[in-house]
Structures are given as structure tokens and as C-alpha cells.
Amino acid sequence: MSENLQLVHSILAQWERGNFRSVDWAHAQIEYAIVDEPGSQVGWGVAAMTRTWREFLTAWNDYRVEANEYRELDHGRVLVALRPHGRGKASGLDIGAAGSQRGSANVFHVRGGKVTRLFTYFDRDRALADVGLSRGLANPTANRAASEARARLTA
């Protein structure tokens, strides 16, 4: 397992227990966004990421995520397919039941042992499209081949 994949696994191990406090893994000037949230904006720095994530978490009881799949996209990017769990504080809505079967995803950009960019998606299919993968394409070799073919087409 690559160092980047090990780092992302260690982050998700905490998040799967609902522990979002640690930010040692984040580069000081991390770029962070919840991509498909209405009104979403990109923030830079650990403080901005922490503020955005804290605001999101205030709406939920017992929020956590379950990692379903890890995909090393290239030397610096890792996509993690997730299933969220938690209950809305005001609505009582179970996010796992309401989120459909698609799930969500995070795309981690790693350099020098730190996450330099983190993009959170509520819609996993949009994350797959944004990184140039087709929905359901689970074979990493096929993913790499598809990415190389796309690069040749756009070159």
C-alpha cells in the first residue's frame, strides 16, 4: 500500500468512529470545499476547513462515514467512496437512508505526506465524473487505462 493510501486510510479510520478533531494530516494551506453543497465555496487553510466542517457537523447527531472503497487515482490523488451515517438534529432525518444508494465521496490530493486539497461530494457519481471515471468502474487498472485514453484524446 502506498504512503498516500496509508495516510488516507488513517484519516478515514478516525472519521468512521465519528472523530473529526484531528487535522495533523492537513497541509497548513489546504484547499477545501464541499463541492456539491448549494452555495459551496472553496476555503484555504486548516482554520477555514475546520470552520466549514464544524458548521456542517452542527446539523447532525452522531455523524460518521463508512469507507466503502479506496481508489488511488494517480501518484497524488485518492478517491474514497463513502456512506454517511447520522441523524439530523432538527429533522430527525437519517442521512444514510435519505442519501440513496449512491453514497458520497472524498477526493484527497496528497503531497509530501500531507493532504493539500480535499473535496467532499454528497453525490459519489459527480465525484467519479469530476475525476474522469465512469460510475461502477471498479478495476484500478481499467481506471488508469481509461484515464490514459482520455488524456490522449484531449492532448
Return the CATH number at 52.
3.10.450.50
Looking at the chain, which runs of residues are DSSP E strands?
26-34, 43-44, 60-72, 77-88, 104-111, 114-121
- Domain range for 89: 3-154
* Burial zone of 38 (CB within 10 Å; 0-12 exposed, 13-18 middle, 19+ buried): exposed
Contact 63, 18 (CB under 8 A): yes
The number of domains in the chain is 1
- What pLDDT does 37 receive? 75
- What pLDDT does 139 receive? 43
Q: Which portions of the chain are predicted below pLDDT 70?
A: 38-39, 98-102, 134-155
Residues 6 or more apart whose Cβ sits within 8 Å of residue 118: 26, 30, 31, 32, 49, 106, 107, 108, 109
